[in-house]
A and B are shown apart, each in its own frame.
Chain A
Amino acid sequence: MLKLHRVTKIFNPGGPDERVALRQVSLEVPQGQVVTIIGSNGAGKSTLLNVIAGVYSIEEGAIFLKGQDISSWPEYRRAAFIGRVFQDPTRGTAASMTVEENLALAMRRGKRRALRWGITPEERRYFKEQLAQLGLGLEDRIRDKVGLLSGGQRQALAVLMATLTKPKLLLLDEHTAALDPRTAKVVMELTQRVISQHQLTALMVTHNMDQALRYGHRTLMMHEGRIILDISDPLRSQLKVSHLLEMFEQASRNSLEDRILLTSPG
């Protein structure tokens, strides 16, 4: 389904603030697998998703989707197959447009936008149906501008928009981190529901280790641009958060030692 082969991403290569965000990352995700990703700040989790989505070009390696090399595709072209939800609810929706307009935009993912009517009556009915399933009362507000909605409502809408056309791959980057715990739970449940409903392949970045182990089928831990842990069910189900923390500390210590070794003279 998704395959990364020795992908390296360097920001500002050659410059004084050069930063290697991904170091020869290889990864294979089969169809229908849901992968959670954890790691410290600056580990490269967001960069990994951005590189897959085509926001950034890569310096080395290749990315395949369904066997096709998409490494050189621009972001908008990959978006035909990849749905995304961002951490910040304002990034995934257009505030000055109405709820139904946002959904209509999402409905045409990957299609050529022509001089046809932007929303059809059947679509409007379909949107109401889908919105009703969220249980947030949004089906009565389809003509409201999205900017008037709460952060949680916007994020729920963003999840719906990302999955409306059943993309081949779903990328979630800490998409509940900016919400209060109750709303986060609602959005998380919604995410789980649509993923299992459409049997989507998904990568989900989270800062919550408990969440990382509870959701999906497989967990990756990233550190300094590398995948340092890759564990799948059934092994994963025996793992506790405390184990994860331990491994995490171990990894950090190791890389710290590496650095000390590298910089110490002799």
Chain B
Amino acid sequence: MNIWLGALEQGFLFGAMVLGIYLTFRVLNYPDLTIDGSFTLGAAVAAKAILMGYDPWWGLAMAFICGAMAGLVTGLLHTQLKVTPLLSGILTMIGLYSVNLRIMGQANVSLLRRETIFTGIKGFIPDPWGTLLLAVLLFAAVFLAVYLFLCTELGMALRATGDNEQMIRSLGVNTDYTKLVGLALGNGLIAFSGSLVGQYQGFADIGMGIGMIVAGLASIIIGETLVGTQTLIRAMASAIIGSLIYRSIISLVLQLGLSPTDLKLFTSLMVVAALALPLVRNRLGFSPLRGAGDVKVTPRNQNF
């Protein structure tokens, strides 16, 4: 019971991160690797804010803003200095490592006996349900906000930028601008998620963002396989469904005795398997696509 509850809580807390990756990788079609840095940045900023005596809710807001700024840096490297998308993200991510250490002052900051948003809610609704409820509500708010944004003029221009940059520019949109907005929003969400996870586990750690990209992609791929991407709402729902299932799988394999240090390898292999599955199916001749020319791994040309 307990491990499933934990998986559920984490699935929602990491949900904002998966939505952020969905925004950059899928909507904007930008293989942004800032994630590992911006996730930790969020946790670091929130932890620091709490230690300095700010309200933990402020920590969430500050984390979002700092994450958005990190995304802006990546975007500016790409749009202004013409650095390739992959490298622009890597440069920011590596730079953030030092920034995060500066913010925290050390590699690990404990929030033990500090007021967090979770200690707050437990005052009203004791666990097991308080934490979960808060996680669900926060995620629902983020989900709704992102959905509504993607239905606005600006949000639609952003989606078009990821789909067909040439076309949307020929309709008068400055795609440099939409990319900056998308990267800022995506990394803002990722840092927001990092600040939630930091408060949830009671510490911020310099290494907590390592492998977030792969975990996020694993969630997205799982979700898309199960839920599909036919409509915007479905594509977004697959992010959270994927996140929940991914966290459940992780809980399960840990329960079954997988060493926590092997988790990252396990996650990588999971993504490899998911990406390879359609290819293998093709080779073996199960797919209707067989003989139809080139092999398509995922619905749209993806960058990973």
Contact = CB atoms under 8 A, between A and B. Distances in A.
Interface of A: 53, 74-77, 79-80, 82-84, 86, 90-97, 101, 104-106, 108-111, 113-118, 145, 161
B153 A115 contact: yes
A174 to B, nearest CB: 16
Interface string B147-166: 00101111111011001101
Contact of A96 (B151, B159, B175): B159
Contact of B149 (A84, A96, A115): A115
Residue picked from A76, A109, A114, A116, most chain B C-beta under 10 Å = A76
A106 B149 contact: no
A111 B160 contact: no
8 closest cross-chain pairs (CB), A and B: A79-B172, A94-B163, A113-B153, A110-B172, A118-B156, A113-B157, A113-B154, A76-B174
Given A82-B170, A108-B153, 7 more contacts: A74-B174, A79-B169, A93-B164, A101-B156, A113-B153, A114-B153, A114-B154
A118 B167 contact: no
Interface in B101-147: none
Contacts of A83: 170
B172 A111 contact: yes
B171 A79 contact: yes
A118 B172 contact: no
Contacts of B230: 145
A92 B157 CA distance: 14
A104 B173 CA distance: 13
Contacts of A145: 230
B82 interface: no
B168 interface: yes
Contact of B157 (A79, A80, A82, A105): A105
Nearest to B166: A91
A114 B152 contact: yes
A145 B164 CA distance: 14
B17 to A, nearest CB: 23
Given A76-B175, A79-B171, A80-B172, A115 B154 contact: yes
Contacts of B156: 97, 101, 104-105, 113, 118
Contact of A75 (B152, B154, B159, B169): B169
A72 to B, nearest CB: 15
Contacts of A118: 151-153, 155-156
B258 to A, nearest CB: 37
Residue picked from B154, B155, B230, most chain A C-beta under 10 Å = B154
A79 B170 contact: yes
